[in-house]
Structure 1
Amino acid sequence: MVVGWEERRQLVKVANLYYMDGWTQEQIAKKVGVSRPIVSRILQKARDSKVVEVYIKDENIHTVGLEQQLEKCYGLKDSIVVPTIGLTTDMIKKAVGQASAYYLSKHLKKMNVSQLGISWGSTLAELVKEYPFERKEQMNIVPLVGGMGTQRVEIHANQLAYELAKKMNCTCSYLYAPAIVETKELKERLVSMREISSVLEEGKKVDVALIGLGNPYRGSMRKLGYLKDNDLKQLRKLGVVGDIGSRFFDESGVVVNHSLNDKVIALPLEQLKKVKEVIGVVEGTHKMESTQAALKGNYLDVLIIDEQTALALLEAK
């Protein structure tokens, strides 16, 4: 773009007042003797002709760019990418927990939420740990998946609902059932009990759902003994890449036809799709395939994720 000396001088003058001295466009218009829209066009021309080049000098510019790409590629309402440079695995999980807690606290202030659903997992446990103390007396927190026993109690949905309710000074419900039971018949008997069926019904009516994403081959379900080696072999044969609330799905996000899914006590994934807003919280590149499949299945509206996993997601697109 060729710009004459006099015009170039005006571009520099206006740009200097705006970018260096902090004048408003209205103030510049009065000073130069033109209208505010003309000042706006002069500033745009200064950028187009390279008189002005804008640089954002902050590490967050990279992650903000990733957020925009994720939203565009996967049709998300919102996304938060957490920087990971120089952090250990434990530090990354804590950072994702902090970012998720901040996002949720800020987000709930804008929404009229009476029922908040929560699934289970170590990343969600970090969110709860980092959540600030505040008053949300009108809210009730609902566990979206069963979970009983003495191992890793701190990551079970009931415990997370209880701890988060303490932070919010609100009430919570309890789903007194295992995540996966031994037989389909036992599951049917349990879900017919009023104490369990009423909480499952509450889960269908939550305004916002907080969920973690699992890799069944490397996640907590295997460590807790819910999944045996034979189960994992069968899931591999069926092409299972992940789970949400202990319900298993393939690379397209389709729930697989396996007996394990018939023995799960949790909110069905088809019901999850009907929740107004589902916030997925993810940490670790080993969950990339699970996350991609969940996005393909349209289970998530918001994604909070670490930087490395976000990069892997975009590279796999």
Structure 2
Amino acid sequence: MNIEERKIMVKVCKMYYYESWTQEKIAAQIGVSRPIISKMLQRARDEGILEIVIHDDDQEISTLEKEMEQVFQLRRVLVVPTKDLNKELLSRVVGKAAAQFVLKLINNGDRIGVSWGNTLYHMVREFPLEKKENIKIVPLVGGTGNHRNEMHSNQIAYELSKKLGGSCNTLYAPAIVETEELKQQISQLPNIAEVLREGEQIDLALVGIGNPFSMSTMERSGYLKEQVIAELKAMNIAGDINSRFINQDGTVNSHPINNKVIGLGLEQLQKIKTVVGMAFGLHKIDCILAALSGRFIHMLITDEATARSILEQKKAH
């Protein structure tokens, strides 16, 4: 290997492992095919240019996951180790771990429903290109507008379908409308009604768990006005799933806004075979506990600090 070849190999390794570029993107940048990049990475390992070190605190995390599963009667829990990570890196690490976790749940022919939010956005962003046969992605809640479009259900469905080589539906409607009458009218439009029906037939649902009062995707997207937020606070709302607000005990809140949402209802969500809830950050503790109390999810993806705090709060009560 000459000096120039070694330089290129080191550059490829840094792009792949430090900057999280895909092999396809690196290949396009370098001007070679993807298999050549794959061979370069393998050769770098063989030549000792690249060493992969895993700091294994697996046992501690595994114990935490099992305790969460037992306490909350969940099928699976993924706890992502996130000690000493800044906010930007935290989102990427959780997103990457969530992507690998979800990928293993997907089978050929599956119909997958997606809601919206920060965690799902990062999960799809980090999702590997992994073609599956006859996959269909269905948005579970409407989402149109000019704010934070990348986090909307339709965009997440589209991006995930590209990664999996599948197809996707589009729900051409806002997440929340002004009146219940308008919600009924829009929901009965043929294209909208068809997507809503497909949402009830999915095999796997991927849903975010939101906090309407802190870093809320719904507020940043323009769906929650100050007056409504004040009303929700007065009613001691704990969080939201699929844009429906729930109380701390997991019951659906009676605020009228819940009747103006265009998307899969929580009663229908509870009938889905597998629902994976995703949320990280200490501001999501009450929201996750409420979702667990309502038994809306079968699996949970969160970070280490949040998981520990959830268990501590549960034991305190």
Which bin holds the TM-score, normalised by the shorter protein?
A: 0.7 to 0.9
Identity of aligned residues (%): 45
Q: Deviations over 1:132-191 (max 9, x none)?
A: 112123111000000001111100000000000000110000000000001111111100
- Do the aligned partners of 1:60 and 1:83 also contact (CA within 8 Å) in 2? no
Indicate the residue corresponding to 1:75 in structure 2: 73
Distance in 2 separating the partners of 1:113 and 1:267: 21
Distance in 1 separating the partners of 2:269 and 2:155: 21
Indicate the residue corresponding to 1:220 in structure 2: 217
Indicate the residue corresponding to 1:307 in structure 2: 304
Indicate the residue corresponding to 1:135 in structure 2: 131
Q: Deviations over 1:93-138 (max 9, x none)?
A: 1111111110111222xx4552100000111011101111121231
Out of 155, 160, 163, the residue aligned to residue 159 of structure 1 is 155
Indicate the residue corresponding to 1:232 in structure 2: 229
Structure 2: which amino acid aligns with 1:247? R
Distance in 1 separating the partners of 2:109 and 2:166: 12
TM-score, with structure 1 as normaliser: 0.80
Distance in 2 separating the partners of 1:104 and 1:227: 30
Indicate the residue corresponding to 1:257 in structure 2: 254
Query: Per the alignment, in what secondary structure is the counterpart of residue 197 of structure 2?
Result: helix
**Residues 103 and 113 from structure 1, CA distance in 2 versus in 1: closer, same or farther, beyond 3 angstroms?**
farther
Out of 181, 185, 195, the residue aligned to residue 185 of structure 1 is 181
Indicate the residue corresponding to 2:62 in structure 1: 64
Query: Per the alignment, in what secondary structure is the counterpart of residue 300 of structure 2?
Result: strand
Distance in 1 separating the partners of 2:122 and 2:302: 13
CA RMSD of superposed structures (Å): 1.1
Query: Per the alignment, in what secondary structure is the counterpart of residue 213 of structure 1?
Result: strand
- Do the aligned partners of 1:187 and 1:264 also contact (CA within 8 Å) in 2? yes
Alpha-carbon offset, residue 273 of structure 1: 0.6
Distance in 2 separating the partners of 1:113 and 1:250: 35
Indicate the residue corresponding to 2:282 in structure 1: 285
* Farther off after superposition, 86-95 or 148-157: 86-95
Distance in 2 separating the partners of 1:238 and 1:198: 34
Structure 2: which amino acid aligns with 1:92? L
Q: Number of paired residues? A: 259
In the alignment, does 2:207 pair up with 1:211? Answer: yes
Q: Deviations over 1:253-290 (max 9, x none)?
A: 11111110011011100111100000111111101100
Out of 228, 239, 242, the residue aligned to residue 242 of structure 1 is 239
Query: Per the alignment, in what secondary structure is the counterpart of residue 210 of structure 2?
Result: coil
Distance in 2 separating the partners of 1:249 and 1:257: 9
**Residues 311 and 265 from structure 1, CA distance in 2 versus in 1: closer, same or farther, beyond 3 angstroms?**
same
Q: Deviations over 1:55-98 (max 9, x none)?
A: xx931222111101100110000011000111012211111111
- Do the aligned partners of 2:239 and 2:286 also contact (CA within 8 Å) in 1? yes
Alpha-carbon offset, residue 233 of structure 1: 1.5
- Do the aligned partners of 1:141 and 1:171 also contact (CA within 8 Å) in 2? yes
- Do the aligned partners of 2:147 and 2:220 also contact (CA within 8 Å) in 1? no
Structure 2: which amino acid aligns with 1:206? I
Structure 2: which amino acid aligns with 1:205? Q
Distance in 1 separating the partners of 2:261 and 2:158: 22
TM-score, with structure 2 as normaliser: 0.80
Distance in 2 separating the partners of 1:79 and 1:242: 20
Distance in 1 separating the partners of 2:284 and 2:119: 12
Indicate the residue corresponding to 2:192 in structure 1: 196
Indicate the residue corresponding to 2:30 in structure 1: none
Indicate the residue corresponding to 1:169 in structure 2: 165
Structure 1: which amino acid aligns with 2:80? V
**Residues 68 and 82 from structure 1, CA distance in 2 versus in 1: closer, same or farther, beyond 3 angstroms?**
same
Out of 144, 151, 170, the residue aligned to residue 148 of structure 1 is 144
Structure 1 ranges of 4+ moved more than 2 A = 111-114
Distance in 2 separating the partners of 1:113 and 1:305: 27
Structure 2: which amino acid aligns with 1:315? E
Distance in 1 separating the partners of 2:94 and 2:201: 27
Distance in 2 separating the partners of 1:262 and 1:157: 19
Query: Per the alignment, in what secondary structure is the counterpart of residue 310 of structure 2?
Result: helix
Distance in 2 separating the partners of 1:223 and 1:107: 31
Indicate the residue corresponding to 2:93 in structure 1: 95
